[in-house]
């Protein structure tokens, strides 16, 4: 147990998460009682809500080449979110409701987008349900962290453990075909898609190194986590994840400079202490990547496994067409958009709805860029309200958070530049908002 703690992993939490994964691997239908257990656990309190939602995300996104997950059982993930929301609502019986930080703008966003859904959406029911999922998800996470703001140290350890466990459990599959189930090229670890794995890795990979260089912590496992996370981002071929990581770091550094804050300097003793182990691990990772193929792998990373003659052509084929389709819908519906959460191909909604017991839970949609997607769905008016919402969140986190929290905020936002997950609480959006919620915890 102490061995795990030295590597930044909470022992009991590690055993529980690993145990759950082992159980659903051996007996897939055990996912049913697992989700019921998570819903009950989420209802116990705000801390339990965050932990249950974190585990729920992993279960939804497990690699199908390793785990068999019944789709009907996965719909139970919504009960975990509803249970967590109910717990937060009940807590207001004993507490005064306070609209802290960006919450006021979140409520304004929900009101305006709801009205636009009623007035302009091609499928009002789907739009309102998706908006409801988003609103209760964001409010649940923000208030859960608000009610547990005195547990800042615990949450830092929790997400450290969460990240390290996923990448350590994924590491063996780097050498196995199951780690490349989706397309045989991009590494996806224990998650179901290389892009999802890249988006998972980017915020925390940067968070690890940001904590180290800022002086928040100088533990050796932060460097190891960063190195392994960076290698896996590269192996996943998730270009947007790498771009988001780099841009988030640059923006955070600019904010740091503007605010006139300084880092705690890295002393000579620290360098001497970590030089040899870091050099050894870096050497091993470079050998694994094969030094002679680094240039070739970089080219593959930029254009993936498609037969593109240039990066521009690859972009047009992968994201350009999606953006153009969204912009065409925006030009036709500039004021209210086509409807919140709707697919660009409006006629496809009836076939892409996910439902259970006769109730529509969601409708899948893929959008290439958050800007064009938002304009398409909610028009100019809704986009302006979203800018206010995001702006208030950035101001709040910059004022109250640490440098490391800024990097999480900006990476979480920037992963949407070509892989919009911002509103997807049935998907990667849940994970991103868990990290954004952590970023709102005020520094001491």
Q: What pLDDT was estimated at residue 76?
A: 84
**pLDDT, mean of residues 358-369:** 53
Instruction: Kindly tell me if the per-residue pLDDT of 309 is higher than 70.
Output: no
Across the chain, what does the average pLDDT equal? 83
Q: Tens of pLDDT along 198-212? A: 999 999 999 999 999
Instruction: Kindly tell me if the per-residue pLDDT of 352 is higher than 50.
Output: no
- Residue 55 in domain: no
- Residue 30 in domain: no
Instruction: Kindly tell me if the per-residue pLDDT of 100 is higher than 50.
Output: yes
Q: Tens of pLDDT along 110-119? A: 999 999 888 8
Q: What pLDDT was estimated at residue 361?
A: 47
Q: What pLDDT was estimated at residue 400?
A: 92
Q: What pLDDT was estimated at residue 277?
A: 66
- Residue 51 in domain: no
**pLDDT, mean of residues 407-427:** 86
What's the token pair of residue 92?
Answer: 């207001």
Q: What pLDDT was estimated at residue 282?
A: 65
Split at pLDDT 50, 70, 90, the class of 7 is confident
Instruction: Kindly tell me if the per-residue pLDDT of 79 is higher than 80.
Output: yes
Q: What pLDDT was estimated at residue 357?
A: 43
* Domain range for 139: 101-439
Q: Which of 95-109, 165-179, 288-302, 313-327 has the highest mean pLDDT?
A: 165-179
Split at pLDDT 50, 70, 90, the class of 93 is confident
Q: Tens of pLDDT along 49-65? A: 999 999 999 998 999 99
- What is the number of helices (H) and of strands (E) in the chain? 20, 2
Q: How many structural domains is the chain composed of?
A: 1
Q: What pLDDT was estimated at residue 287?
A: 60
- Residue 200 in domain: yes
Return all residues near 145 (Cβ < 8 A) that are at least 6 apart: 46, 50, 155, 437, 438, 440, 441
Partners of 354 in the beta sheet? 362
Cβ(141)–Cβ(430) under 8 Å?
no
Percent of the chain past pLDDT 90, that is, above it, reads 42
Q: Is 52 exposed, middle or buried (0-12, 13-18, 19+ CB in 10 A)?
A: buried
Instruction: Kindly tell me if the per-residue pLDDT of 138 is higher than 50.
Output: yes
- Residue 169 in domain: yes
**pLDDT, mean of residues 18-24:** 93
Split at pLDDT 50, 70, 90, the class of 271 is low
Instruction: Kindly tell me if the per-residue pLDDT of 290 is higher than 70.
Output: no
- Residue 9 in domain: no
Chain mean position to CA 169: 18
Instruction: Kindly tell me if the per-residue pLDDT of 293 is higher than 60.
Output: no
Split at pLDDT 50, 70, 90, the class of 358 is very low
Which stretch of 110-119, 230-239, 300-309 has the lowest confidence by average pLDDT? 300-309
Instruction: Kindly tell me if the per-residue pLDDT of 179 is higher than 60.
Output: yes
Cβ(16)–Cβ(41) under 8 Å?
no
Alpha carbons 228 and 168: distance in angstroms, whole number? 9
Q: Tens of pLDDT along 394-405? A: 999 999 999 999
**pLDDT, mean of residues 303-309:** 51
Instruction: Kindly tell me if the per-residue pLDDT of 332 is higher than 90.
Output: no
Cβ(77)–Cβ(426) under 8 Å?
yes
> In this predicted model, which residue has the larger pLDDT, 407 or 328?
407
DSSP labels for 262-281?
A: -PPP--HHHHHHHHHHHHHH
**Cα 248–165–176 angle (5° rounding)?**
95
Cβ(155)–Cβ(438) under 8 Å?
yes
**pLDDT, mean of residues 234-250:** 90
Alpha carbons 192 and 304: distance in angstroms, whole number? 18
Instruction: Kindly tell me if the per-residue pLDDT of 232 is higher than 80.
Output: yes
Alpha carbons 319 and 299: distance in angstroms, whole number? 18
Q: Which of 217, 215, 159 is nearest to 441 (CA)?
A: 159
Instruction: Kindly tell me if the per-residue pLDDT of 409 is higher than 60.
Output: yes
Chain mean position to CA 113: 23
**pLDDT, mean of residues 17-40:** 92
Q: What pLDDT was estimated at residue 291?
A: 46
- Residue 425 in domain: yes
């Amino acid at each position: 147990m102490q061995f795990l703690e030295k590597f930044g992993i909470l022992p009991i939490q590690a055993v529980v998460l690993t145990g759950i994964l082992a159980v659903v691997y051996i007996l897939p239908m055990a996912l049913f009682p697992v989700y019921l257990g998570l819903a009950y656990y989420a209802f116990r309190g705000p801390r339990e809500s965050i932990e249950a939602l974190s585990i729920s995300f992993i279960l939804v996104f497990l690699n199908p080449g390793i785990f068999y997950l019944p789709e009907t059982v996965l719909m139970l993930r919504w009960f975990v979110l509803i249970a967590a929301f109910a717990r937060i609502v009940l807590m207001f019986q004993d507490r005064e409701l306070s609209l802290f930080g960006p919450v006021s703008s979140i409520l304004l966003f929900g009101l305006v987008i709801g009205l636009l859904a009623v007035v302009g959406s091609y499928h009002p029911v789907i739009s309102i349900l998706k908006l409801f999922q988003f609103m209760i998800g964001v409010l649940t996470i923000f208030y859960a962290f608000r009610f547990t703001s005195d547990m800042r140290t615990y949450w830092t350890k929790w997400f450290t453990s969460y990240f390290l466990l996923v990448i350590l459990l994924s590491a063996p599959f780097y050498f196995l075909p199951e780690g490349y189930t989706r397309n045989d090229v991009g590494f996806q670890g224990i998650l179901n898609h290389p892009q999802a794995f890249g988006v998972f890795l980017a915020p925390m990979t940067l968070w690890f190194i940001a904590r180290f260089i800022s002086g928040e912590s100088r533990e050796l496992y932060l460097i190891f986590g960063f190195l392994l996370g960076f290698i896996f981002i590269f192996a996943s071929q998730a270009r947007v994840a790498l771009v988001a990581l780099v841009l988030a770091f640059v923006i955070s550094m600019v904010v740091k400079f503007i605010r006139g804050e300084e880092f705690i300097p890295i002393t000579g003793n620290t360098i001497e202490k970590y030089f040899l182990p870091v050099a050894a691990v870096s050497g091993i990772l470079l050998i694994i990547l094969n030094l002679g193929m680094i240039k070739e792998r970089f080219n593959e990373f930029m254009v993936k496994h498609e037969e593109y003659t240039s990066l521009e052509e690859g972009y047009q084929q992968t994201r350009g067409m999606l953006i153009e389709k969204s912009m065409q819908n925006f030009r036709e519906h500039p004021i209210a958009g086509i409807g919140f959460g709707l697919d660009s191909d409006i006629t496809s909604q009836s076939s892409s709805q996910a439902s259970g017991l006769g109730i529509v839970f969601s409708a899948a949609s893929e959008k290439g860029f958050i800007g064009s997607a938002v304009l398409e769905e909610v028009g100019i008016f809704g986009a302006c309200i979203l800018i206010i919402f995001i702006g208030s969140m950035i101001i709040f986190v910059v004022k109250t958070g640490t440098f490391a929290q800024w990097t999480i905020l900006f990476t979480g936002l920037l992963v949407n530049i070509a892989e919009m997950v911002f509103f997807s609480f049935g998907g990667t959006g849940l994970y991103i908002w868990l990290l954004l919620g952590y970023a709102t915890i005020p520094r001491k």
